[in-house]
Amino acid sequence: MRVRELALAIATAATTLVSAPAHADETSQAYRLHRRLAGVNPSKTILETMKLAIREGRAVDAARIAIDNEEHSFFYNATLKKFFNPWLDEEGNNSIPLNDATATLIGMTRDDKSFQQIFATNVSYVGTGFDAAVAERIRPPEPGNNLHYLQMEREGVDLKKVLTPIKQTDALLDPTQSMQGETGVPAGILTSRGWASVYYQAGTNRAPVRFLLKNFLCQDIDAFHDTTVPDDEVRRDPDRAPGGESHVYNNKCKGCHAGMDPMSRAFAYLDFDDERRSMVYTRPTEATASEGVKCAEGSEVVLSPDSTFEDKLRCAVVKKYMNNKASYPEGYVVKNDQWKNFWTGGNNARVGWPAAKGQVIEGSGPKSLGLMFAQTKAFPRCMAKQVMAHVCLATDFESQIIKDKLDRLTEKFQAANFNMKSLFAETAVMCMGL
């Protein structure tokens, strides 16, 4: 009985601790900032430095102290990793192993790089400079496995210290040099092994389009449904009369495929090889084409000495673009990685695409497609929204107060050249308490 009373007594005391007050002093503000950014309490030294900054009206500086804490790297090792992980998992799981894509996103944040470049840069972050004892237990990065990152995670290495940028075209990561000299690639995380293993593995390469919309514009594919877009560039695999009902296609399937399929062509040379467990980029260059091109399995092109370079490009389109071609043989045949965005008009203009309303945007390869996404008005707002949910635990994005805050954060993120670290700092200050 006594124990129960005691438990109840302590519990009663604890109930007061879940109610944040309307007004917080600088100590409470510093604690809140540090906990929300690093996930742990600050040390006395850090606390005092943060309090001083807050007292002097430099709350964002206080947040930056929590972020780049000299005593630990929990912002990078825990907070950021959990934040980026859902982007690399179709289920949005935040507990996936560290990989080259998340390491690159963490590294770009640490280095104050523009997040508009995450789909366009020729960079991949790898671990270097480990302590001797740890170094023995960490393999170098390899295109055919994720061990380098898994082992870094298992050893609990300080990501703030060890992450080092190298080029994706480095022979270490791309031994066949397939992306060397290309303009459509490398494309930042879109040509990372981590991204490829999720979004290019099997399927039809439509997944990367859907998850670009979902994770980087914060709008899932259904929100883009538009049956007014012409469907003459829908591939051959979607059934035009599912169950014998053409209206199902016209009223439902077409609304997504007409926009998604032309964009998915950006990934026509990208695949994930299940046997080699690595990303594959198949586009031949003029030089490699002259040496002969191995057509993708199932290719409809038969090469001859008279074949043109265009034939050879078509020949290299990965097999999944020919899947179920008998479903509707009159459908669009993917010949290269030239993509189009037809979703710039009507309600879909809300995204704020980098083009006039209704104007079709075109490009080649994933790099230009990614840049188009990063240049929308929805991209910075989506980033700000996700950071706000992560740091401030905001959920009611219909509330006017939150909408106003989101507007301001979005503006600041853009003004700071899409600096993710600044976005975290500014956001944390918005919920540190008055």
Question: Which residues ranging from 371 to 400 are in contact with another protein (CB under 8 A)?
Answer: 388, 390-396
350: buried, middle or exposed (CB in 10 Å: 19+, 13-18, 0-12)? middle
- The residue within the footprint of another protein, chosen from 40, 223, 303, 416 (CB under 8 A), is 40
**Residue 247 binds another protein, judged by CB under 8 A:** no
Closest separation in Å from C-beta 394 to another protein: 6
Does residue 151 bind another protein (CB under 8 A)? no
What are the angstrom distances between the C-alpha of 368 and each of 58, 121, 196, 400?
39, 11, 17, 35
SS3 160: helix
Task: Please choose, out of 2-10, 143-151, 193-201, 366-374, the segment that lies near another protein by the rule CB under 8 A.
Answer: 2-10
One residue of 68, 142, 155, 239 binding another protein per CB under 8 A: 155
Phi, psi dihedrals of residue 163, rounded to the nearest 5°: -70, 130
Between 8 and 360, CB nearer to another protein: 8
Does 273 sit near another protein (CB under 8 A)?
no
Q: Total binding residues for another protein by CB under 8 A?
A: 61
Closest distance between another protein and the C-beta of residue 413, in Å? 15
User: What is the Cα–Cα distance from 68 to 70, expressed in whole angstroms?
Assistant: 6
Query: Would you state the structure tokens that stand for residue 409, as one six-digit string?
Result: 């954060």
Residue closer to another protein, measured from CB, 355 or 431: 431
By CB under 8 A, name the one of 24, 166, 223, 303 that touches another protein: 24
Minimum Å gap between C-beta 52 and another protein is 15
On whether the CB atoms of residues 316 and 289 are closer than 8 A, the answer is no
9 is a contact residue toward another protein (CB under 8 A): yes
| Binding letters toward another protein, positions 90-119, x by CB under 8 A | ----xx------------------------
Q: Is 78 in the site for another protein (CB under 8 A)?
A: yes
270 pairs with which residues across the strands?
281
Does 132 engage in binding with another protein (CB under 8 A)? no
∠ CA(336), CA(337), CA(343), 5° rounding? 125
Q: Tell me which stretch binds another protein (CB under 8 A): 72-80, 112-120, 276-284, 359-367.
A: 72-80
- Min dist CB 304 to another protein, Å, is 56
CA gap 426, 57 in Å, rounded: 13
The helix (run of H) or strand (run of E) holding residue 364 is strand 361-364
Nearer to another protein, 15 or 183 (CB): 15
Residue closer to another protein (CB basis): 302 or 401: 401
Let me know the angle formed at the C-alpha of 338 by 336 and 340, rounded to the nearest 5 degrees: 140
**Cα distance between the two ends of the chain:** 42
Which of 46, 62, 64, 74 binds another protein (CB under 8 A)? It is: 74
Task: Indicate whether 25 belongs to the interface with another protein (CB under 8 A).
Answer: yes
Question: Which residue from 152, 198, 234, 430 is in contact with another protein, where contact means CB under 8 A?
Answer: 430
Nearer to another protein, 295 or 388 (CB): 388
C-alpha torsion sign, points 295, 146, 89, 423: negative
Instruction: Pick the closer one to another protein by CB: 10 or 287.
Output: 10
Q: Which of 221, 223, 248, 431 binds another protein (CB under 8 A)?
A: 431
Other CB atoms within 10 Å distance of the CB of residue 15? 8
Distance CA 355, CA 300 (A): 35
Does residue 161 bind another protein (CB under 8 A)? Answer: no
DSSP assignment letter at 204: -
CB 429 to another protein: min, Å = 9
Tell me how many degrees the CA angle 112-117-123 measures, rounded to the nearest 5. 85
The answer to whether residues 236 and 329 touch, using CB atoms and an 8 Å cutoff, is yes
Residue 21 binds to another protein (criterion: CB under 8 A):
yes
Helices (H) and strands (E) in the chain, counts: 20, 6
Q: Phi and psi at residue 338, in whole multiples of 5°?
A: -80, 120
Q: How far is the CB of 88 from another protein (least distance, A)?
A: 15
Looking at beta carbons only, is 133 or 302 nearer to another protein?
A: 133
Nearest to another protein of 85, 364 (CB atom): 85
Q: How far is CA 270 from CA 137, 181, 310, 318, 336, in A?
A: 32, 16, 17, 7, 11
What is the closest distance, in whole angstroms, from the C-beta atom of residue 153 to another protein in the complex? 10
**402 lies in the site for another protein, by CB under 8 A:** yes
Q: From residue 72, how far is each of 104, 134, 156, 161, 268 by CA, in Å?
A: 20, 18, 12, 10, 43
| Nearest-angstrom CA–CA distance, 372 and 355 | 9
Which residue carries 């879909």 as its tokens?
Answer: 348
Which residues form the interface with another protein (CB under 8 A)?
A: 2-25, 27-28, 31, 35-36, 38-41, 72, 74, 77-79, 81-82, 94-95, 155-156, 388, 390-396, 401-402, 405, 427, 430-434
